[in-house]
Each structure stands twice: as C-alpha cells, then as structure tokens.
C-alpha cells in the first residue's frame, strides 16, 4: 500500500512539493526572522537624517556604479583599504550598496580618513587631488538645499530614530553637505587596527637620501600627486598645515627626519604621540602605498621646501 503513491504522479508531485516547502521554511525562512541572522555591531548607529539624505544623493548620482563599499577578506584588500567588512555593519542599509565594480576606489573605510574640507574640495574638483581621476565634479550639489520634509519622510519610512532637533539641523544644509556627512560615517563602526609602527624603527634616524637630487625630484613627483592638494604646491598649507614653518603637530620646534617619515607612513591618527607631540587626526597613512625609499624621497623633498 505504501508504494501506491508512486503510481499516482500528480499526488506524488504535490506531496513532494509540500515536503520541500516545509523543509525550505524550516531551514531558510524561519532562521531569517531570528535576531542572530541580523547582527549589529556594538558601535553601529542609525543614519541621521542628514547622512540618509547624503546616502540618497550617493545613489541618485550613481556613485555605486564606480565605487564598492565592501572589503573582501583578502590580504591585498585589507592592506589597501583596511579591516575586511562585517555583516553587522550593514544593519541599517536598505538597500545594500556593496557594489561589484571598482572604477574608483572602495569607500567602505572612508569615514574619518580625511577631514570634511578634503571631501568638499574633492567633490568640487576631483582632478585637483588626483590628476588622472575620471570622476565628475559635484560642486553643483551645494546649489540644491536639503528638504527637511522629504528627509523626515525617508527616516520614517526606514524606521530610523530621529528627533525634532535632527530635522531642524537640516535648515541651511545642501546636498553637498549631506553627501560629505554620509562619507564620514562609512565604516566607522569597525575599530581601525593600528598600522605597524615605524616610530621606534626610525626614531631620530637621519634621512639616507638627504640632499640627493634625484631623490628630491622623485619626492616632488610623489608630493605633487598625493600631498599638494592638502598642503599646497609649495608646502605652505591649505586643507592641511604648512610644512615650511616651524610648527609640527601644533608644537613649535624642528623635528627629526624620522618624525617626518613616521607622519607620512602612519598618518596622524587622533591621540597618536610622535616625539612628544600629539596628533589630532586628518591625515591617512601612506605606508601601504609607498616603500621606504619613496617615503624618504618625500621627506627629502619636504626638507628642500623648508630650506627655500
């Protein structure tokens, strides 16, 4: 009798479909509704209305077509972009903007890497920062004010918490302000691992390429391509501080070649102490981009600017 069902193809198909459906619900859909399947990092915070407007601008301008927002757990990616992406980072992302094509660099760890002024300048004229960039200019965004009513509707629709003060703070803001605010929140829920310190290695070591004309020329090319947009073409400052005065990390007095090397290699993470001076943040590390000779060449060029 038990084998009769095999002789009835329609009944067999229906019973098989029901069994498969029950199994699918039990193994896939029910687990998807449990809290364990929707983790949130401890430091993750919901988007503010301004950040959410910036995210909408990011999507409407098609930024996700050229930039990804996920770092894969591969050594090369982690060295270049930072800690690999965690599922709990994206609890408030609807939809996800992981992307798949990198015409431009990944932005998963861009938050806090540069100061706001850098982002404003970069959106207004990307080629001033990276001469070979094919990114369009977005300075025109500052001509479009943020609509508080529309922003409030967005946070309500996504169920994100907000206060009246959050909405009132949108008055006078434009879409460029919004996308900069969005950039500054990307990836900050994941604690950044400190770079391997070169301070103890370099200490007060003198630059082995000091005064070397070819090294200075090479350093100038690197400086023009990576540093001039913030520190000025002649090192007199702008977004970043001057490199030709006698003030380093907010304290007067000259520093060693090793100090300059360390700042270039490790950046100025807030709270970091180098030779008794405390950094306040704003400059990213370049040790993953340049080898020692290149960093010493840049140091030699900076010294040549001081001598002028």
Q: Provide DSSP, 73-124.
A: S-HHHHHHH-SPP-GGGGTT-SS----S--SS---TT-TTTS-HHHHHHHHH
pLDDT at residue number 276: 87
In terms of Cα–Cα distance, which of 67, 46, 271, 65 is closest to 156? 46
Task: Evaluate whether residue 191 is within a structural domain.
Answer: no
For residues 57 and 156, membership in a common domain is answered with yes
Residues 168 and 61 in one domain: yes
Q: What pLDDT, on a 0 to 100 scale, did the predictor assign at position 67?
A: 97
Residue at 188 is within a domain: no
Out of 47-56, 188-197, 253-262, 296-305, pick the least confident: 188-197
Whether 252 is covered by a domain: the verdict is: yes
Q: In the chain, what percentage of residues exceed pLDDT 90?
A: 69
Q: Do residues 174 and 203 share a domain?
A: no
Quote the distance between the C-alpha of residue 45 and its chain's center. Answer: 16
Domain identity same for 110 and 172: yes
pLDDT at 185: 97
> So what's the pLDDT on residue 202?
65
Predicted confidence (pLDDT) at residue 101 exceeds the cutoff of 80: yes
Q: Provide the pLDDT for residue 37.
A: 62
| Confidence check: pLDDT of 1 > 60 | no
Q: What percent of the chain has pLDDT over 70?
A: 93
| pLDDT of 131 | 87
> Is residue 4 situated within a structural domain?
no
pLDDT, tens digit (0-9, with 9 covering 90-100), for 112-148? 999 999 999 999 999 999 988 999 999 999 999 999 9
Q: What is the CATH number of the domain that holds 247?
A: 1.10.760.10
Residue ending a domain, choose from 133, 154, 183: 183
One domain for residues 127 and 230 = no
Are 300 and 223 in a shared domain?
A: yes
Asked whether residue 43 is domain-assigned, the answer is no
Give the closest residue to 182 by CA, choosing from 18, 48, 55, 46. 55
The number of domains in the chain is 3
Q: How confident is the model at residue 281 (pLDDT cuts 50, 70, 90)?
A: confident
Chain segment 167-220, per-residue pLDDT in tens? 999 999 999 999 999 999 999 999 876 655 555 556 668 899 999 999 999 999
Three-class DSSP category at 27: helix
53 pLDDT tier (thresholds 50, 70, 90) = very high
Mean residue pLDDT of the chain comes to: 90
Better pLDDT: 40 or 300: 300
Cβ contact 54:179 at 8 Å:
yes
Compute, in degrees rounded to 10, the torsion defined by CA atoms 120, 121, 127, 133: -30
Give me the mean pLDDT over the 245-265 stretch. Answer: 91
89 and 203, same structural domain?
no
| Residues 54 and 27 reside in one and the same domain | no
Whether 64 shows a pLDDT value over 90: the answer reads yes
Percentages helix, strand, coil for the chain (3-state, rounded to 5) are: 50, 5, 50
Residue-number span of the structural domain to which 19 is assigned: 9-37
Asked if residue 164 has pLDDT above 60, the reply is: yes
Is residue 272 domain-resident? yes
Average pLDDT over residues 233-243: 93
Looking at the fold, whether 62 and 178 belong to one and the same domain comes out as: yes
Provide the β-strand partners of residue 248: 251
Q: pLDDT per residue over 262-275, tens digit each?
A: 999 999 988 888 88
Banded pLDDT at 2 (limits 50, 70, 90): low
Q: Is residue 22 part of a domain?
A: yes
Say if 125 falls within a structural domain.
yes
Please give the pLDDT value at position 195: 54
Mean pLDDT of 240-252: 92
What would the two tokens of residue 233 be? 């073409």
Domain boundary among 133, 157, 183: 183
User: pTM of the full predicted structure?
Assistant: 0.81
Shared-domain flag, residues 260 and 209? yes
pLDDT at 289: 87
Distance of alpha carbon 290 from alpha carbon 179, whole angstroms? 30
Query: Which residue, 183, 216, 232, sits at the end of a domain?
Result: 183
């Amino acid at each position: 009798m038990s084998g009769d069902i095999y002789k009835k193809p329609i009944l067999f198909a229906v019973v098989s479909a029901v069994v498969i459906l029950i199994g699918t619900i039990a193994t896939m859909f029910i687990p998807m509704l449990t809290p364990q399947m929707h983790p949130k990092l401890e430091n993750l915070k919901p988007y503010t209305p301004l950040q959410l407007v910036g995210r909408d601008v990011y999507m409407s301008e098609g930024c996700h077509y050229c930039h990804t927002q996920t770092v894969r757990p591969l050594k090369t990616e982690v060295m270049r972009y930072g800690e690999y992406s965690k599922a709990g980072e994206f609890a408030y992302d609807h939809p996800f903007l992981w992307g798949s094509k990198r015409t431009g660099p990944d932005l998963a760890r861009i938050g806090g890497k540069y100061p706001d002024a850098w982002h404003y300048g970069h959106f207004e004229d990307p080629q001033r920062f990276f001469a070979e960039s094919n990114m369009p200019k977005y300075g025109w965004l500052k001509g479009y004010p943020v609509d508080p009513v529309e922003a409030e509707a967005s946070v309500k629709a996504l169920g994100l918490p907000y206060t009246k003060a959050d909405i009132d703070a949108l008055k006078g803001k434009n879409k460029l302000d919004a996308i900069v605010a969005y950039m500054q929140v990307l990836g900050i829920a994941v604690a950044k691992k400190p770079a391997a310190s070169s301070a103890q290695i370099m200490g007060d070591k003198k630059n082995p390429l000091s005064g070397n004309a070819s090294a200075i020329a090479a350093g100038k090319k690197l400086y023009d391509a990576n540093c001039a947009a913030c520190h000025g073409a002649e090192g007199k400052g702008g977004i970043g501080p001057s490199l030709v005065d006698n003030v380093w990390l907010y304290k007067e007095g000259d520093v060693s070649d090793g100090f300059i090397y360390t700042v270039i290699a490790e950046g100025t993470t807030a709270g970091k102490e180098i030779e008794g001076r405390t950094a306040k943040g704003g400059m990213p590390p370049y040790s993953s981009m340049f080898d020692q000779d290149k960093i010493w060449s840049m140091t030699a060029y900076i010294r040549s600017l001081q001598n002028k």
